[in-house]
Each structure stands twice: as structure tokens, then as C-alpha cells.
Amino acid sequence: MRTKWSYAESVIAELQNDYPGRDIKIDPREVLLRLDAQVNQLAKQGYLDNWKMGHGASVDEQFITTWEGIVITDPANKMPSSFTIPANYAALPRNGGIEQVYFDNLFTGNKTRYYDPIIIKSFREVAMYRNNMAGNLEGRLSGYPKGRTFIFDRGGVGAKYGNVGIRLAIRDSSAIGDSDPYPIPADIEQQVIAELVDWFRDRRKQPTDTIKDANDKA
């Protein structure tokens, strides 16, 4: 599987081949930012396509990024516990951008184990079920996102269950090591590279710099 830097190298190499002699300077980190944006757009489109075709509202596993060891804040006076969501995720229907929230100590540690999925609700659903007999979800843990904060339906969650992990529908290169694989479905690898090359070509439309003086006129 290709690493994230191999995608940046492919894009830069193709751009350099377009303009022999051009003193082209593109920061690979800039390519990675565009790579993330392009892949996230494809993930969103894939989610909507699955939904329309009746395959279920889901994002392919290769578009998911996982963060672990997130510390939960337990306010005083039994106020609801919360944690900061580590990245902006794809804006998908019904909070589909948050694929899963789970406890890190499911199989290790000395905290209370919690095996059921944490139910992810919208703020509207919280208000709707507040006075409903089914609102307590039979005691199961739930929560909802509010901006960059995930708020649980009760307090003391961190003290009882420990840290959490979260799986988001986003490809974030900053969360991937330089030599680690950058997961993209094999059938769209070349599409992603081609679209990135086209984006940088459009941005750099200008007379060709044919003088090899190490000065990029862009």
C-alpha cells in the first residue's frame, strides 16, 4: 500500500515532467493538504452513493481515521462528561461523520468494561427524547456532538470507564506517520493523483519559467 509521501512525490513528478526546465517548487506538505481534501470529498460522495443505492448509510473503511487515548472531562456536580473531537469530520447526514465512539479499556485496564456501542445522537434527538419514556435508552450510554465537543448523556463517564477512541469519516494525513500507508481504495488511486495534478496545473497557469536559476516565478 502506498504511503502518503508517495502520492505527493507522484504529483510533483508529473508536474515537473509537464514543464521541462521549469524551476518548480511545490511543498509536499501542500500536496498532502489537497490530498486529504480530495479524498474526503470522495468519501462523502461514496457515502451518499451507498445511501441512494440502498446499501446502507456507510463509509468505506479506508476513509476512516482512528484516534485513541482521548481523555474525558468529568465536570463537578454530576454535569455531563465530554471530550474534544480531535478533527473536523465529514459533514454527513445523521452525524455519519462520526463512525464510532468506544472505550479504550474494553479489554485492558482496571476500569468498568462497557461493551455496547455508544449511541450517537443529534442535538435535536436529545431534546426530542428528553421527556420520553424511551429517552434513557434502557440505560445505555449515548452522546451528541456540539461543535468540536462530544457530550455524554451523564456525568462521571471518564472516572468510571476511562479514555475513549473515536473513528471519524475523514482522511487526515497529520494523523498518519511518514512511512505509514495512506489508505485509499485501489480503484481511485490514479483518479486522485490525476485530479491533484489538474488542480496544481490550474493554479500555476503562467508563462513557463525556462531559465534554470533556482527561482520559481509562481
Tell me whether residue 174 is in a domain: yes
Task: Write out pLDDT tens, residues 138-185.
Answer: 678 999 998 899 999 899 999 999 999 998 888 877 777 777 788 887
Question: 189-203 vs 28-52: helix axis angle to the nearest 10?
Answer: 130
The per-residue pLDDT for 49 is 62
pLDDT tens-place string over residues 25-69: 778 888 888 888 888 887 777 666 665 655 455 677 777 888 889
DSSP character at residue 112: P
**pTM score of the predicted model:** 0.68
- pLDDT at res. 214: 59
Task: Decide if 166 is inside a domain.
Answer: yes
Query: How many domains are there within the chain?
Result: 1
- Dump pLDDT digits (tens) for 102-145: 988 765 566 788 877 888 887 676 666 655 544 455 678 999 99
Q: Give domain status of residue 91, yes or no.
A: yes
pLDDT at 158: 92
Residue 217 lies in a domain: no
Asked, for residue 211, whether it belongs to a domain, the answer is: no
Q: Are 67 and 168 in contact (CB under 8 A)?
A: yes
Say what the pLDDT of residue 18 is: 65
- Domain assignment present for residue 208? The answer is no
Give me the domain span that covers residue 83.
4-203
End-to-end, the C-alpha distance of the chain in Å comes to 33
Residue 212 lies in a domain: no
